[in-house]
Amino acid sequence: MSDEAQTIPGLGAPADTEWETVVGLEVHAELATATKLFSASPNRFGGEPNTHIDPVSLGLPGSLPVLNEKAVELAIRVGLALNCRIQPSVFARKNYFYPDMPKDFQISQYDQPINVDGWLELPSGKRVGIERAHLEEDTGKTVHIGGGGRIHEAGYSLVDYNRAGVPLIEIVGHPELRSAEEARQYVSELRSILVAVGASDGKMEEGSLRVDCNVSVRPVGSDRLGTRCEIKNVNSLRSLGRAVEYEARRQIDLLTSGQPVEQQTRHWNEDDGRTHALRSKEEDYDYRYFPEPDLLPLDPSTEWVEQIRHALPSLPRDRRLGLAEAAPSVDIDHIALAVERSMDDLALAAISGGGAAERVMTHIVQNLADGSGELAPESLADLVGMEEAGDLTATQAKKVLAVLVEGGGSPQDAAQTLGFEAMGIGELESLVDNLIAEHSDEWSRYCDGDNKLTGFFVGQVMKATKGRADGKAVTQLLNSRRG
């Protein structure tokens, strides 16, 4: 084994090597403030270009930043929700030239960020470490005109500074994710938390949530990290999964063919489904960070932090735990889905109102669309009760539910309106007994063990009841009559 191979995990590994993907994510989320991080211009998506601007967000000579207190509060909410330590922090200037950055430096936080050392729990129960979650300002947007919108072929470029100075929180996770799927779960969970605490709208499609992923690979069992590449331009959960998978594959192919992975910043191209090299480590900027002299150090009082902590809403993880406790037999994915869709309050209320947990959760996950949260939990509980009593079939219950979501009312009334009037067990019994008498031949064959005749009898019952009977209940009844 060469020296190089000893220092690079997996270099020249045999084709049958089992690989592990290592992912660490940096997520930028726009904070949902009314105004920008350092000025009074509105923080609003869209708008005519260069209308949400002022001397400060344009970085005009002589302008000075003034910190937005609401942004700090939202950052602290995020820090608390991610189990971070909230500490005194310092703003720093990150210096590099870019046309959409008005001052040619970005005000960010560097060696003393506001939130450090937290963790986030995935629905699976796995905890992922959060290194830091710091405040910084967003840049403007450059539009390249001509040449199909590509920078190198463009005739000219236009810059829109509406977004410049919008508050961001950058959440840096430890490289503890081990697959594309875990990376997706992490971002999904993080987004739910950001939305739950009111810090961000979490819209990846509008760029309010942006993900940079650091990907490396190593043979399973290796305790050293491989060389990582940072992937930019990942704009949806779907792209995230695809980009991580592609990049891991690319790195594995390099290593197995004996080529080391070069540390690079790469760009995900949604159209060709590949990542492309943007710049190597050597070409990286020297940001020349230093403390921002125009702003004072930020030192939120303990009282303020505690006040924010007490006002925090319950977080997705707690809500999952709560629902899982009320519905212990229900699959964790369904629990997570219900919480993600903010249907957990309805589920909990229906269950505590007497609805059988599994049936309640089936309706929540399969039969109710987002925004059905206004359905009265008692109605859902009653509906489930009718199913349990055999008064409604699953198919009927779904139809009743649709009526309830549409216009409210009680499930009993809705069932009646739909013609699903209650069919008591007594009615069903007499019907079945009549059928047995009418079809004595078939019955004796059935009693001799010809189970194919189950279908015949159920079909007869359905025909007689125009589908009102519960097939399952009929089968049970036939069985018990057979003795």
Q: Which of 220, 284, 228, 221 is nearest to 260 (CA)?
A: 228
Task: By CB under 8 A, tell whether 67 contacts other proteins.
Answer: yes
Instruction: Provide, rounded to whole angstroms, the least separation between the CB of residue 266 and other proteins.
Output: 21
Q: DSSP string spanning 3-64?
A: HHHHHSTTTT--TT--EEEEEEEEEEEE---SB-SSSSSB--S--STT-S--TTTTT-TT--
Instruction: Provide, rounded to whole angstroms, the least separation between the CB of residue 150 and other proteins.
Output: 13
Task: By CB under 8 A, tell whether 60 contacts other proteins.
Answer: yes
The answer to whether residues 10 and 19 touch, using CB atoms and an 8 Å cutoff, is: yes
Q: What residues form DSSP beta bridges with 171?
A: 27, 133
Angstrom distances, CA of residue 128 to CA of 115, 138, 172: 15, 26, 11
The answer to whether residues 52 and 261 touch, using CB atoms and an 8 Å cutoff, is: no
Instruction: Provide, rounded to whole angstroms, the least separation between the CB of residue 140 and other proteins.
Output: 10
Distance of alpha carbon 184 from alpha carbon 182, whole angstroms: 5
Q: Which stretch binds other proteins (CB under 8 A): 18-26, 61-69, 187-195, 356-364?
A: 61-69
Q: Which stretch binds other proteins (CB under 8 A): 102-110, 240-248, 378-386, 429-437?
A: 102-110
- Return the residue matching tokens 């450090």: 116
Cβ closest to other proteins, residue 99 vs residue 408: 99
Binds other proteins by CB under 8 A, chosen from 9, 24, 79, 102: 102
Cβ closest to other proteins, residue 119 vs residue 289: 289
Binds other proteins by CB under 8 A, chosen from 65, 123, 165, 175: 65
Cβ closest to other proteins, residue 295 vs residue 422: 295
Q: DSSP string spanning 142-203?
A: EEEESGGG-TTT-SEEEEE-TTTT-EEEEEEE-S-B-SHHHHHHHHHHHHHHHHHTTS----
DSSP 148: G
Angle between helix 180-196 and 69-81 (nearest 10): 130
Task: By CB under 8 A, tell whether 90 contacts other proteins.
Answer: no
Cβ closest to other proteins, residue 56 vs residue 400: 56
Q: Which stretch binds other proteins (CB under 8 A): 91-99, 199-207, 367-375, 415-423?
A: 91-99
Cβ closest to other proteins, residue 157 vs residue 366: 157
Instruction: Provide, rounded to whole angstroms, the least separation between the CB of residue 104 and other proteins.
Output: 3
Instruction: Provide, rounded to whole angstroms, the least separation between the CB of residue 58 and other proteins.
Output: 7
Instruction: Provide, rounded to whole angstroms, the least separation between the CB of residue 231 and other proteins.
Output: 24
Instruction: Provide, rounded to whole angstroms, the least separation between the CB of residue 209 and other proteins.
Output: 28
The answer to whether residues 33 and 74 touch, using CB atoms and an 8 Å cutoff, is: yes
Task: By CB under 8 A, tell whether 104 contacts other proteins.
Answer: yes
Task: By CB under 8 A, tell whether 64 contacts other proteins.
Answer: yes
Cβ closest to other proteins, residue 288 vs residue 463: 288
Cβ closest to other proteins, residue 75 vs residue 400: 75
- Return the residue matching tokens 């109710």: 368
Instruction: Provide, rounded to whole angstroms, the least separation between the CB of residue 80 and other proteins.
Output: 25
Instruction: Provide, rounded to whole angstroms, the least separation between the CB of residue 59 and other proteins.
Output: 5
Distance of alpha carbon 478 from alpha carbon 463, whole angstroms: 16
Task: By CB under 8 A, tell whether 97 contacts other proteins.
Answer: yes
Type of residue found at 414: A
Cβ closest to other proteins, residue 72 vs residue 82: 72
In angstroms, the first-to-last Cα distance of the chain is 75
Type of residue found at 62: G
Question: For the window 279-298, what string marks contact with other proteins as x by the rule CB under 8 A?
Answer: -------x-xxx--xxxx--
User: Positive or negative CA dihedral for 229, 235, 237, 241?
Assistant: negative
- Rounded to 5 degrees, what angle do the CA atoms 34, 237, 189 make? 65
Cβ closest to other proteins, residue 77 vs residue 93: 93
Task: By CB under 8 A, tell whether 62 contacts other proteins.
Answer: yes
Q: Which of 122, 43, 115 is nearest to 336 (CA)?
A: 122
Query: Site residues for other proteins, window 108-167 (CB under 8 A)?
Result: 157, 159
Instruction: Provide, rounded to whole angstroms, the least separation between the CB of residue 18 and other proteins.
Output: 38
Judged on CB neighbours under 10 Å (0-12, 13-18, 19+), 149 is: exposed
Binds other proteins by CB under 8 A, chosen from 36, 52, 93, 228: 93
Residue 64: how many CB atoms within 10 A of its CB?
A: 10
Task: By CB under 8 A, tell whether 59 contacts other proteins.
Answer: yes
Instruction: Provide, rounded to whole angstroms, the least separation between the CB of residue 214 and other proteins.
Output: 20
The answer to whether residues 29 and 171 touch, using CB atoms and an 8 Å cutoff, is: yes
Cβ closest to other proteins, residue 65 vs residue 241: 65
User: Which residues bind to other proteins, rule: CB under 8 A?
Assistant: 55, 58-67, 93, 95, 97, 99, 102-105, 157, 159, 286, 288-290, 293-296
